[in-house]
Structure 1
Amino acid sequence: MEGIDPVIARHIPADAPSPSEGYRVAAWIEAFCYLTGSFAGRRFTLLAWQRDLLVDAYRLERDSFGRWRRKHRMAVVCIARKNGKSTLAAAIMLYHLIADRADTQRQIIAAANDRNQARMVFDAAKQMVTASPKLSAVCDVQRDVIRYKDSTYRVVSADAGRQQGLNPSAVSLDEYAFSRTADLFDALTLGSAARNEPMTWVVSTAGPDPDGPFAQLCERGERVNSGEADDPTLFYRSWGPKLGAQVDHLDPEVWKACNPSFEILNAEDFKAAAQRSTEASFRIYRLSQFVRGASTWLPHGLWDSLAVDDALSPGDAVVLGFDGSWKGDSTALVAARVADLRVFVLGHWEAPPDDAHWRVPMADVREALRSALETYAVRTLVADPYRWEETLENLEAEGYPVEAFPTNSLKRMVPATQAVYDAARDGRLSHDGSPALARHIGNAVLREDKYGARITKEFAASRRKIDLAVAMILSVHGAVMWREENPGLIDAPVVATWEDDGQVFAVGGSAEFFDDL
């Protein structure tokens, strides 16, 4: 603990796996804060999940100068209602107002989409101060501001207009899921750049807009937690089902898993709420689940259960699936090993959420395609030709087995989707555990009409990409078809291909065998 502020260090247990200011935050809340509402007058005794949340969110690490500083500058918490999130947020903000040693003249903000919602956290903080003899002795409580020495804690909201000129050292943004724009969020987070160690808490229940700014922030957090994205300043915690997951909303075990305070909640109230509320409302407010307007493609947990720790080896017989784009979207290259239908992501190029001018690095994609064709025994490259016709024609002219598969052809996508679903359901398909592929599969919804069922985005302008899922379907379906058409050549390398009457044929085995023919 050498070099850590001694006031913070004395609260860190000797056996702590890593230093965290969260131990001091927790001790301060329990020493000075009182509960509100039904538990008014009781000292704030943190639940286990609340203590763990504080410890994890306030981790300390050394900066480039060797100083111990907060690792995270933003904590995003997606949690169902009735779990005491507003009370906890109020206590955290009081800590920053009075006890935060990272700043001196502090500006604390309670914010939300509308003023009434913003006041919920702020009013809880006011009640805590009033209930505590020690806090009320040092704080001046007014209608819209709490003052401690030269520091202030005030309330702002999006419906009061654009909030400019703010320089917050700590912010609690409540129920962000119901904001249609990121204007207030941007004003609050960009305004704290001059602060030493600013901390923003975004605490919200999931909402009815799976494509809104809070849903995007949660998706970013999921990508950071899975290792797909690198953002050490962002801390994310959620107990609700992942976007696209399917859970039984009437199952008490699901209620318990989605509500970390369930041990002190009334199970009978959940049962009554499930009966009198619409399913969508119950999922949003009691499970903190983003609700979308279409059915997800794969049953909950199925894709995760098919993950295998394995690697693709040079020379393995594969079918490649390719779904390309050129700007503002995602391009995907996936391999399905013919022998066991195991899926591997070989390339993925996706537009960053905040870059409207991003273009696919076409040279890198072409290089990845050629590398895959040269490294593995590629039975077929199954590719959507849209915007990549020239590249695919050149590869085919060089002798590589290319099959054009327009993904907008319902006659082809419907049976392909069904074949891959069957392979996943029957356990014949497995994969390398790619978090990006899992995310794209979770984003895919099933559209059913008179033509059949196939995967698609929830709506055309959705920012949730599914291209890796599409490329996976092309590769696995292609591998299934190749196995059926060539039952004796599944494990043999391809040594020759040719086309006859619009069909591509392949010969496997050794080169000597081909010469004998």
Structure 2
Amino acid sequence: MPYALDGRWTAPEFSLGYQVIDWIEAYLVHGPGDVQGQPIVMDREYARFIVDAYEVDRRGRRRVTRAFLSRPKGRAKSELAGMLVCAEALGPVRCDGFDANGNPVGRPVTYPFIRCLATEESQAGNTYDNVHYMLSEGPVYDAYPGLDINLAKVNLPQPGGGEIVPSSASSASKDGGKETLGVFDETHLYVTRELREMHKTVSRNLLKRKSAQPWALETSTMYAPGEDSIAEGMHSDFLKATDGLIEHPGLLFDHKEAPPVSIRNKAELRKALRYVYGPASEWMDLDRMVIELQTMQEHEAKRYFLNQPTATVDQAIEKEAWDAIVSEETPKPGDQIAIGFDGSLRYDATAIIGCRLSDGLVFPIAIWENPHTGDDWEVDVLAVDAAMAKAFDEYRVEWAYADPAYWQDIVGRWAIEFGDNHIFEFWTHRDTPMSTAVERFRTGIQTQQISHVGDATLTRHVMNARTREVRAGVVLRKDTKKSKKHIDACMAAVLAVEARADAIADGRLRKKRYRAISY
């Protein structure tokens, strides 16, 4: 299903894409921008994408249930999405049989319901802005009398009817779901719980109308690794599908990125830009782009304009390095371990993380996260207390560092219960000791002296962590002060690794002894 743009493209045996392209070029004009109102002539890359997206099988049913288009900033992805929304509303987009030559014949969808998803509550979204303009201008408005177009939604002509609606995270979750097409624009921005829930809700809705053959269209610039965005998840699913690890026969993943290049080399950069923008490079101002990209941070230039997945410059741990130390090992009852604890009562998360003394295996013992649903949430203190007691009962806990902020009474009680030679306070807001612990943690990852079990929640917290420079070195922080992206499990992991080091330095590691056998 997916294809490589830099290789040979094999056209599907059957596709309605050619008819869809003809309809777009006949009835639509370009949306807002330098060429607004001008007739559309589909470029070859986007024509290929449409032909692939509208592939049908021998029964005439759609083969693509989810299409993902990844291109650099400024490549008119939202405009293409707008064209397809208009076509899905009025054009020949579903198979009505085959002609005498064996080619599929298109027909409109019966009562199309198309949802254009926006990332911000106050926006209609780039896709819907294009739809609004395209349906208001050009031949389509006169060819389809009865179009009712406004900023809130588009009502499609009778007798069939139908709707095109822009939706935010809150409004999408309240509707019953009759979607025949869901359009998700810039899914590299879908990193919050609300946006992920919106994506999940609409994706579920697309399963309801079998006869309408619903599908999803996702467009995006490449993601920042570790942000756990929808775009990153789609890329992961694609890689797993191509490796045969999961089945996803309806996925079309169309991604194009520039080859590795230094943005300081103007000749190489210009060549890379011409490649990644493809046909659009003919009307893009590449000369200006080359100059402007020299002034940008490299990670921003590569991600947005070369369409390469690139982490932010202040990300504490690189995803590649973290993924490289995943272990198949698991902790066992009776193992000697160290523990790190970082907690919040209400807004953030609370985590208890273990680190095995013998080999530095990091693993979650328990993690509680504020779901940020708008309700008054508070961590279950009794559950936290019970989890710590269970850890001491199940493992040989040699050393535990606990950040006592908001938890001083409980940490003090743990010291009495489990011994003040096992439970120690570690204030994470103190820059000097914290920067030392962070340096140990990052060095352990880079040199692969520690490992982890691959827990998804712990990984997300680690990838959310950013660095802040202090006099003593660097400490960890959230991306913004009020961010809902938790890092507490990462903080606890840092404390667990530091606790392991101090336990070993104190002579608490009990090495296995082997008895020599002579024959």
TM-score by length of 1: 0.63
Are positions 1:350 and 2:369 aligned together? yes
Whole-angstrom distance in 1 between the partners of 2:456 and 2:273: 22
Whole-angstrom distance in 2 between the partners of 1:28 and 1:121: 21
Q: Structure 1 residues 293-302 or 426-435, which shifts more?
A: 293-302
Work out whether residues 355 and 362 of structure 2, in 8 Å CA contact, stay in contact via their aligned partners in 1: yes
- The letter for the 2-side match of 1:279 is M
Match of 1:275 among 291, 299, 321: 291
Match of 2:489 in 1: 468
Whole-angstrom distance in 2 between the partners of 1:330 and 1:142: 49
Query: Is the partner of 2:505 in helix, strand or coil?
Result: helix
Q: Structure 1 residues 276-285 or 255-264, which shifts more?
A: 255-264
Match of 2:381 in 1: 362
- The letter for the 1-side match of 2:367 is H
Work out whether residues 49 and 260 of structure 1, in 8 Å CA contact, stay in contact via their aligned partners in 2: no
Match of 1:380 in 2: 399
Match of 1:340 among 359, 366, 373: 359
Flag the 1:148–1:480 CA change in 2: closer, same or farther, 3 A.
farther
- The letter for the 1-side match of 2:370 is A
Match of 1:498 in 2: none
Match of 1:27 in 2: 15
Work out whether residues 325 and 450 of structure 2, in 8 Å CA contact, stay in contact via their aligned partners in 1: yes
Match of 1:421 among 442, 447, 451: 442
Match of 2:413 among 394, 399, 412: 394
Flag the 1:276–1:107 CA change in 2: closer, same or farther, 3 A.
same
* Unaligned segments of structure 1, at least 5 residues: 1-11, 13-22, 59-67, 131-135, 242-246, 494-508, 510-517
**Per-residue displacement from partner, 1:89-116 (whole Å, max 9, x unpaired)?**
5225523545469974334466763688
**Per-residue displacement from partner, 1:448-477 (whole Å, max 9, x unpaired)?**
133431111133211111101100100011
Query: Is the partner of 2:377 in helix, strand or coil?
Result: coil
Work out whether residues 90 and 125 of structure 1, in 8 Å CA contact, stay in contact via their aligned partners in 2: no
Are positions 1:81 and 2:73 aligned together? yes
Flag the 1:310–1:360 CA change in 2: closer, same or farther, 3 A.
same
Work out whether residues 53 and 67 of structure 2, in 8 Å CA contact, stay in contact via their aligned partners in 1: no
Work out whether residues 119 and 155 of structure 1, in 8 Å CA contact, stay in contact via their aligned partners in 2: no
Whole-angstrom distance in 1 between the partners of 2:274 and 2:366: 38
* Unaligned segments of structure 2, at least 5 residues: 2-10, 96-107, 241-247, 514-519
Match of 1:95 among 88, 97, 103: 88
Match of 1:150 among 160, 185, 188: 160
Flag the 1:426–1:194 CA change in 2: closer, same or farther, 3 A.
closer
Q: Percent identity?
A: 20
**Per-residue displacement from partner, 1:207-250 (whole Å, max 9, x unpaired)?**
99x99xxx9776898999999xxxx9xx9989699xxxxx9767
Within 5 Å, give how 1:203-214 maps onto structure 2.
Answer: 203-205=219-221
Within 5 Å, give how 1:102-117 maps onto structure 2.
Answer: 104-108=110-114, 113=123
Flag the 1:49–1:262 CA change in 2: closer, same or farther, 3 A.
farther
Whole-angstrom distance in 2 between the partners of 1:491 and 1:256: 59
Whole-angstrom distance in 2 between the partners of 1:308 and 1:258: 39
- The letter for the 1-side match of 2:465 is A
Whole-angstrom distance in 2 between the partners of 1:238 and 1:258: 18
Query: Is the partner of 2:418 in helix, strand or coil?
Result: coil
Query: Is the partner of 2:436 in helix, strand or coil?
Result: helix
Flag the 1:165–1:390 CA change in 2: closer, same or farther, 3 A.
closer
- The letter for the 2-side match of 1:447 is R
Whole-angstrom distance in 1 between the partners of 2:435 and 2:232: 28
Flag the 1:270–1:315 CA change in 2: closer, same or farther, 3 A.
farther
- The letter for the 1-side match of 2:432 is K
Whole-angstrom distance in 2 between the partners of 1:289 and 1:434: 26
Aligned-residue offset at 1:149:
4.5
Flag the 1:327–1:423 CA change in 2: closer, same or farther, 3 A.
same
Whole-angstrom distance in 2 between the partners of 1:97 and 1:117: 17
Aligned-residue offset at 1:124:
5.6
Work out whether residues 29 and 44 of structure 1, in 8 Å CA contact, stay in contact via their aligned partners in 2: no
Whole-angstrom distance in 1 between the partners of 2:411 and 2:222: 43
Query: RMSD across aligned C-alpha pairs, in angstroms?
Result: 5.8
- The letter for the 1-side match of 2:80 is T
TM-score by length of 2: 0.63
Aligned-residue offset at 1:332:
1.0
Query: Is the partner of 1:408 in helix, strand or coil?
Result: coil
Question: How many aligned positions are there?
Answer: 436
Q: Structure 1 residues 98-107 or 402-411, which shifts more?
A: 98-107
Query: Is the partner of 1:413 in helix, strand or coil?
Result: helix
